[in-house]
Amino acid sequence: MRKMSYQRVSEVCLETGYLLINGGAESYRIEDTISRIGYSLGHRVNCYVTVTAVFIEVDGETSKFIKSNLGGTNLQMIDDINTMSRKLASHVMTPKEFAHEIDKIYRDKHTTDFPFYLKAFGAGLVSMAPMLISTMPVHYFIYCFIVGLIGYAISYYLSKISPLPYVDLFISGFTIALLGIILKDIHLVNNYHNIIIGAVMPLVPGVAITNAFRELVMRHALSGAVKILDAVLVATSIGFGIATALIIF
Amino acid sequence: MLELLLHIILSAASAIGFSLITNAPHRAAGIIGITGSLSWTAFWVLKTYAHVNILLANMIGALIIGLLAYHLSRKFKLPENIIYIPCLVNLVPGGNAYRTILYMVQNRFIASLEQAITTFLIAAFLAVGLFSAQYLISVVRGIIYFRKSKI
C-alpha cells in the first residue's frame, strides 16, 4: 500500500476536524478521531482542537490550521464520519476512497437531512414535555404541540434568512409567549405558563450545555467555557423574548 | 397506572422528537426512545412515590442515561453522544428556568433568585450523574484489567 503524501493527509484530517466541529462533537473526541485516522493512514498526527479552530501537525513535517464557526448540530454527520473511520481502521475502505468521501461531504457541507415537516413534527413532540403531566389537563398537550411547532418553525426560517445569531431565538420566544397569552384571552386555556414552558423546550440549548459540561470535566477548559457562555446567551435571549411579551401584554 | 403509561409514552416521544431536530441517524431512533423513557420514568417514580430529593432523582436519571448510552453505543456501534443528547432533554429544568424569568418580570427578585439557584443546581447534578456513570465504567474496567494482568 502506497503512503499518502503529508499534504494530502493533513488536508483530509483538517476537513474531518472541521466537519466534526460543525456536527457538534466534543473536542476531546475530535482529537481522538483525528489521531486514529492519521494512524490508519500511516502517519503520526498531532492535533489540537479548540471550539473555533483545528491545528494539525503531520510527522513533524507540515502544520496547518483551519477556522470554523460555533453552533449547529448534525448528529448524522458525526455518525457518518465515525462509521467511515471505523471502516478505514479495519481495512474495509481504502485510504483513497476515504479521502474522496470526506472531500465530497466537505464540499456539499451537509449529509442526509430530515425534511422540514418531519423536524417540525419532532419539535411538536418535544413540546409535549412529560414534566407537565400532573400540572394540567391532558387535552392541553394539543395546544403545546401546536405552539411549539410554530415557535420552532419561526426560529428555523429566521436562522436561514439572516446570519445574525440569537435574534431568531428572541423573536421565536416572543411569539411563543404571545400565542400563549392569546390562547388564554380567547378562553381556550385558563393558565398559559405551562403552555409556554412546554413550547420553549425544542429551543433550549441542551446540546451545548451537555457538551460543555463534559468538556469541562475532561479538562478542555477553553472550549468548555466558550460553549457554556454560548449556551447562557442562547437561554437568555429566549428568556428575554418571553419577558418582553409578558411585559407588553 | 394510566398516568405511568402516559409518562412512558410521552417521554419516549419527546426524546425521539429531539433526535429528529438534531438530525440523528434513523437506526438510533428506537434506542433513543427506550433510553429516554427509562431514565425519565425512573426519575418520576423516585420523585413521586419514593419522595427522594429532586436533585438526587435527577442525578440517578442522568446516571441511567450514562450507563445505558455506554452499553448501547458499544453494542450498536454508534457514537455515545448521539444517544445521550436527545435523552437529556426530558430532564432539563425548563420549568424552573421559565419561573426565573417570570418572577423577574413581576419584580419578585428574591423568588427569582431562588429559582435561578435551583435551575443551576439541577443542571449541575445532571452533569454529576453523567460523569459518575463514566467514572463507574472506568473503575470497573480498571479492576477487570488489573485482575487479568495479575493472573
Chain segment A41-53, per-residue pLDDT in tens:
888 888 888 888 8
What total of structural domains would you count in chain B?
A: 1
Residue at grid coordinates 418531519: A118
Would you call B98 and A193 a contact, using CB atoms and an 8 Å cutoff? yes
Chain segment B32-78, per-residue pLDDT in tens:
999 999 999 999 999 989 889 999 999 999 999 999 999 998 898 88
- Domain definitions of chain A by residue range: 6-108, 116-248
Which residue in the set B20, B21, B101 is minimally distant from A243, CB to CB? Answer: B101
Q: Please check the confidence at residue A111 and state whether its pLDDT lies above 70.
A: no
Which backbone phi and psi does A137 adopt, to 5 degrees? -60, 155
Pairwise CA distance, residues A177 & A147, whole Å: 9
Cell representation of residue A149 = 411547532
**Residue A148 has what pLDDT?**
92
**Residue B41 has what pLDDT?**
92
Shortest alpha-carbon distance between residue B39 and chain A (Å): 12
ipTM for the whole complex: 0.85
Q: Please check the confidence at residue B104 and state whether its pLDDT lies above 70.
A: yes
SS3 call for A67: strand
- Supply the mean pLDDT for chain A: 86
Task: Name the β-bridge partners of A57.
Answer: A46, A63
Chain B CB contacts of A247 below 8 Å: 105
Task: Name the β-bridge partners of A55.
Answer: A48, A65
Find the helix or strand (DSSP H, E) in which A93 lies. Answer: none
Pairwise CA distance, residues A61 & B15, whole Å: 46
Domain that holds residue B71: 1-149
Chain B CB contacts of A235 below 8 Å: 97
Q: Please check the confidence at residue A187 and state whether its pLDDT lies above 90.
A: no
Q: Please check the confidence at residue A234 and state whether its pLDDT lies above 80.
A: yes
Which backbone phi and psi does A74 adopt, to 5 degrees? -145, 90
Which of A124, A132, A123, A151 lies closest to A191, judged by CA? Answer: A132
Report yes or no: A209 at the B interface, CB cutoff 8 Å.
Answer: yes
Q: Is the dihedral of CA B104, B110, B114, B117 positive or negative?
A: positive
Which residue in the set B3, B82, B104 is minimally distant from A78, CB to CB? Answer: B82
**Residue B114 has what pLDDT?**
94
Which residue in the set A76, A124, A126 is minimally distant from B23, CB to CB? Answer: A76
Most confident region among A66-75, A238-247, B81-90 by mean pLDDT: A238-247
Would you call B84 and A210 a contact, using CB atoms and an 8 Å cutoff? yes
C-alpha separations of A208 from A18, A19, A89, B148, B149 in Å: 17, 17, 30, 39, 40
Q: Which residues 69-88 of A have a C-beta within 8 angstroms of B?
A: 73-76, 78-79, 82-83, 86
Report yes or no: A217 at the B interface, CB cutoff 8 Å.
Answer: yes
Q: Please check the confidence at residue A112 and state whether its pLDDT lies above 80.
A: no
Q: Which residues 104-143 of B have a C-beta within 8 angstroms of A?
A: 104-105, 123, 126-127, 130-131
**Residue A41 has what pLDDT?**
84
